[in-house]
Amino acid sequence: MFQRSCTCRTGQDTLQFLEFTSLHITLNPCMIAPPRERGRAVVTHSDSHSLASGIEFQHSHPDLGSPRSPENQSTPIIRCLLTTGYDRSSCFSEQTVPSLTITRAVPTTALPRMITTRIQLLNRLQDQSRIGQQVQQSGNTLAEQVFIKARGTRPDSAGCTYFCYFKLKIQTKEDTQVREMEYAVAMAALAALSTCGVWGVKYEPNWDSIDSRPTPEWFDEAKFGIFIHWGVYSVPSYGSEWFWYHWKQQNEGYKEFMEQNYPPGFTYQNWGKQFTAELYDPNTWADIFLASGAKYVVITSKHHEGYALYPSNYSFSWNAKDVGPGRDLIGPLADAIRNKTKLRFGLYHSLLEWYNPLYLRDKANNWTTQTFAQQKAIPELYELVKLYRPEVIYSDGEWEAPSSYWNSTSFLAWLFNESPVRNSVAVNDRWGEETMCKHGGYRDCKDHFNPGVLQEHKWESAATLDKQSWGYRRRAVLQNYESIEAVIAYLVKAVSCNGNLLLNIGPTKEGSIPVIMEERLRQMGSWLKVNGEAIYSTRPWTYQNDSVSGDVWYTRKKNGPAVYAIFLNWPEDNVGIMGYPQLAANATITMFGYDNQLKYEPNWDSIDSRPTPEWFDEAKFGIFIHWGVYSVPSYGNEWFWYLWTQQDKGYKEFIEKNYPPGFTYQDLAKQFTAEIYDPEKWADIFSASGAKYVVITSKHHEGYALYPSKYSFSWNAKDVGAGRDLIGPLADAIRNKTKLRFGLYHSLLEWYNPLYLRDKANNWTTQTFAQQKAIPELYELVELYRPEVIYSDGEWEAPSSYWNSTSFLAWLFNESPVKDTVAVNDRWGEETMCKHGGYRDCKDHFNPGVLQDHKWESAATLEKQSWGYRRRASLKYYETIEQCITYLVKAVSCNGNLLLNIGPTKEGAIPVIMEERLRQMGSWLKVNGEAIYSTRPWTYQHENVTGDVW
């Protein structure tokens, strides 16, 4: 196969391409496509070789079949004279034009090695231009006119790709058979349609010139990006990222929040010191972003509060280097993104600053002065570009002043002409009060922009996962977050209509990405891993939304005839109906939920004879709640006090780094505040989970009681911390709002209670602690709260005789207010586990995998490393919904129940990721519950052929 060079020169730029053999090329009569059709071009040729539209040809025609010799190696030369004019009426005409022939002698057998068979038919142009596939039969020659893509790379910008489309008439001299071909052919139109900037054009500082620059091709190919809002507003994490503004405006809620939680004279700047970012790991962020399937990332360099996340020369004492983290937060993320991923890195920048005196003075002067713009805002933009080379600049805060105040066009002209990212940077349209949705780069028009119909100009929808805030918000509950289905719908609708999706997350002040947000990103990655072909590098089809099935949206393949129909909801009866696609004859379609009255004696034979209540066996699924003082440090696990006291390395270092000398575990209890604890909301979540009972820790091994116990003076939620009973309101909410059963966990032992330690030292020959503390608490709990489950724990050091377990259980089963309904487990002494008591739970995460004769329960925790809340837990430490369902199914098949644990925060919030798992369980059980609730094990538990069938 012969390959020859063809060069296209404009100014100082040179392109090198391949010249292919045996082509007869018919050029369409329009060089420059109109702005709405950028990325698609045609060129003109005339008999005189001098074209008014801007192309001049010099070419030669070696004789077909002549030997390859120096005198016959003349190369076509195309000199490119750019023009900005076009005649739309002639651009899409079908008129016949003179042609240019380039020939080389090539054996027919060599042709297959020269061609690829994918032909790009620009379906979207058919209605607009009447241009499409044309096939003509003429004697023994069959000629096919198709649109072909040309590619090239600019020598000084490696990796930049350029595209144009034109008509080719292809025929072979030795064979009348027409071959469908896609040739990489160099044409002069590339000079005008570079996706990295129009070559030879210098952008002027006016909107006509700035608006003529095409959005870089990579941005259109990407489709999906991640937005990050992070700043001082992440410290109060209340309301939204506009906290400072709303507080200053004395808006409802914000004023009360400050009065209730902060002393008089507290300023917004005081929070800068608390913006610590101690958990910030750019490499972990990069890994999450990569897993999301996003192709670019945009982080706030500075929001309207004026606080810069980098050491800006124009933001003295109000940036992340001078106050707060004490370091640059932007640079390490830019490096991690570029070194660990192939994502593009971008920056958000707010032009305005609410309370900057320079800005307020210019505003008071009705923008006739530009002190703030010239000395602060615009210099920051130059600084950011030079420091971090962002390939997206998302401007904001433009709405009060005109673009002339901001000198926006001057900055953009420099950005597009001279900056280090001039060929690849994409910008939005927020450059002045008059520019949104009109001038700049791609359009984002407004937050959550979603036109629902095809837009001629490239656009982007910036949407946030938390529906009420772009920054992190501690009070957010699951309902405030977009579901994965909603996020996918945003993406699909945007791409169908020529847009991108920029999905926002808000990290915490410590620098961690909330687990629910991480999950959404990873869920997007999972979906895109399967369906990405219908998203990335696609183009809008002739139709965007189906006329029959409104939940069907279309995209089309960029380089091929494929059309993608994306169903946002599974069709009824498993039949998808579409109105628009008209299939050719050879088209293919593919598709990428005991009641007994006896008198029991205080011995194990009698106690063990009591059947587990029927309701417990019918229930199958319960929720476990671990909540206590260990929720305050939320480090390691609920055994924090014990491991710290044992001088475990990690716990010791954690305390030394974060707390002063002399700090005690009891000091943490003051911070166990439960200020946003809402038992009714908890009850709603538990009801939605499909669970049939709830068990909460009344007291864990630390000895701290969540209720005002008479046996735990000064070490209970009424006396220290929350200042109230936390058990009773939940019991009431569960009983009043749901049909769930209410249960209590109780630890027999207390690690550091002096009475317990004394009995232990006496080898359990004394029972002071058991008789005066542990067992009286159990009687108290039953009398106060009437639990229908008692989950005993902390039994392993002392025998059941020390605890007087059988006496308590006999009373419980014979005389207590819950004698007929209460279910108990098997942890009543060092010898009882998996042998005596009530249902068996044997060990944490018990899962025998085979049928058990005795009723049992698997207590499993959603967070794999802890039963209590743990701030450092990332998504990988949480069980997936599939794993939770698997635990339930295996347990029920083998005569067990599942007790699924969650760990609320010290404030009393159920972590959103845990709430989601519970609601996901509810959704599954709503459909599949008939196979779970009130069932009995079958003859066989596990299919021996298909191992995943139970």
The DSSP secondary structure of 493-523, one letter per residue, reads HHHHTTEEEEEEE---TTSPPPHHHHHHHHH
Segment 537-547 shows an average pLDDT of 90
Query: Is the pLDDT reported for residue 234 higher than 90?
Result: yes
- Cβ–Cβ under 8 Å, residues 504 and 465: yes
Return the pLDDT at 91. Answer: 29
Q: What are phi and psi of 83, to 5 degrees?
A: -145, 155
Return the pLDDT at 242. Answer: 93
Query: Is the pLDDT reported for residue 942 higher than 90?
Result: no
Return the pLDDT at 945. Answer: 79
Query: Is the pLDDT reported for residue 4 higher than 80?
Result: no
Neighbours of 448 (CB within 10 A): 12
Segment 735-749 shows an average pLDDT of 97
Return the pLDDT at 213. Answer: 94
Predicted TM-score (pTM) of this structure = 0.67
Among 880, 904, 901, which residue's Cα sits nearest to residue 518? 880
Query: Is the pLDDT reported for residue 77 higher than 80?
Result: no
What does the alpha-carbon distance between residue 729 and residue 713 come to, in Å, rounded to a whole number?
21
Give the pLDDT confidence of 750-765 residue by residue, as tens digits.
999 999 999 999 999 9
How deeply is 499 buried, as exposed, middle or buried, from its count of CB atoms within 10 A (0-12, 13-18, 19+)? buried
List the structure tokens of 807. Answer: 């006496």
Identify the band that residue 280 occupies on the pLDDT scale cut at 50, 70 and 90. very high
Return the pLDDT at 546. Answer: 85
Return the pLDDT at 324. Answer: 95
Return the pLDDT at 599. Answer: 76
The beta strands (E) that lie in 654-724 are given as: 693-699
Q: How far is CA 423 from the centre of its chain?
A: 29
Give the pLDDT confidence of 18-47 residue by residue, as tens digits.
233 333 333 333 322 333 333 323 333 322
* AA letter at 879: E
Percent of the chain with pLDDT over 90: 69
Give the pLDDT confidence of 296-321 residue by residue, as tens digits.
999 999 999 999 999 999 998 999 99
Query: Is the pLDDT reported for residue 722 higher than 80?
Result: yes
Give the pLDDT confidence of 99-148 residue by residue, as tens digits.
323 222 222 233 222 222 222 222 222 222 222 233 233 332 222 332 32
What does the alpha-carbon distance between residue 347 and residue 228 come to, in Å, rounded to a whole number?
9
Give the pLDDT confidence of 412-453 residue by residue, as tens digits.
999 999 999 999 999 999 999 999 999 999 999 989 898 889
- Cβ–Cβ under 8 Å, residues 864 and 879: yes
What does the alpha-carbon distance between residue 349 and residue 398 come to, in Å, rounded to a whole number?
10
Among 96, 166, 163, 196, which residue's Cα sits nearest to residue 136? 96
* C-alpha dist (Å) from residue 310 to 359, 362, 384: 21, 25, 9
What does the alpha-carbon distance between residue 394 and residue 812 come to, in Å, rounded to a whole number?
66
Point out the least confidently predicted range of 74-83, 509-518, 911-920.
Answer: 74-83
What does the alpha-carbon distance between residue 215 and residue 195 come to, in Å, rounded to a whole number?
7
DSSP 3-state of 657: helix
Among 477, 553, 465, which residue's Cα sits nearest to residue 501? 465
DSSP-derived letter for residue 189 is: G
Percent of the chain with pLDDT over 70: 77
List the structure tokens of 839. Answer: 């249902």
Which carries the bigger pLDDT value, residue 633 or residue 159? 633
What does the alpha-carbon distance between residue 204 and residue 191 come to, in Å, rounded to a whole number?
19
Give the pLDDT confidence of 628-673 residue by residue, as tens digits.
999 999 999 999 999 999 999 999 999 999 999 999 999 999 999 9
To which H or E segment does residue 560 belong?
Answer: none
Segment 572-580 shows an average pLDDT of 72
Average pLDDT, the chain: 80
Return the pLDDT at 334. Answer: 98
Q: What are phi and psi of 412, to 5 degrees?
A: -70, -35
Return the pLDDT at 141. Answer: 29
List the structure tokens of 85. Answer: 């004019």
Give the pLDDT confidence of 853-891 residue by residue, as tens digits.
999 999 999 999 999 999 999 999 999 999 999 999 999
Return the pLDDT at 450. Answer: 87
Query: Is the pLDDT reported for residue 548 higher than 70?
Result: yes
Query: Is the pLDDT reported for residue 400 higher than 60?
Result: yes
Return the pLDDT at 211. Answer: 95
- Cβ–Cβ under 8 Å, residues 911 and 869: yes
Among 814, 749, 797, 742, which residue's Cα sits nearest to residue 775? 749
Instruction: Give me the residues paired with residue 566 across strands.
Output: 553
Return the pLDDT at 99. Answer: 31
Which of 144-158, 340-354, 584-598 is modeled with the greatest confidence? 340-354
Return the pLDDT at 187. Answer: 36
Handedness of CA 568, 572, 574, 580 (dihedral sign): negative
Identify the band that residue 590 occupies on the pLDDT scale cut at 50, 70 and 90. confident
Segment 508-520 shows an average pLDDT of 96
What does the alpha-carbon distance between residue 162 and residue 826 come to, in Å, rounded to a whole number?
72
List the structure tokens of 489. Answer: 């719908």
Give the pLDDT confidence of 830-854 residue by residue, as tens digits.
999 999 999 999 999 998 999 999 9
How deeply is 410 buried, as exposed, middle or buried, from its count of CB atoms within 10 A (0-12, 13-18, 19+)? middle
Alpha helices in 620-697 (DSSP H): 640-645, 649-658, 665-669, 679-688
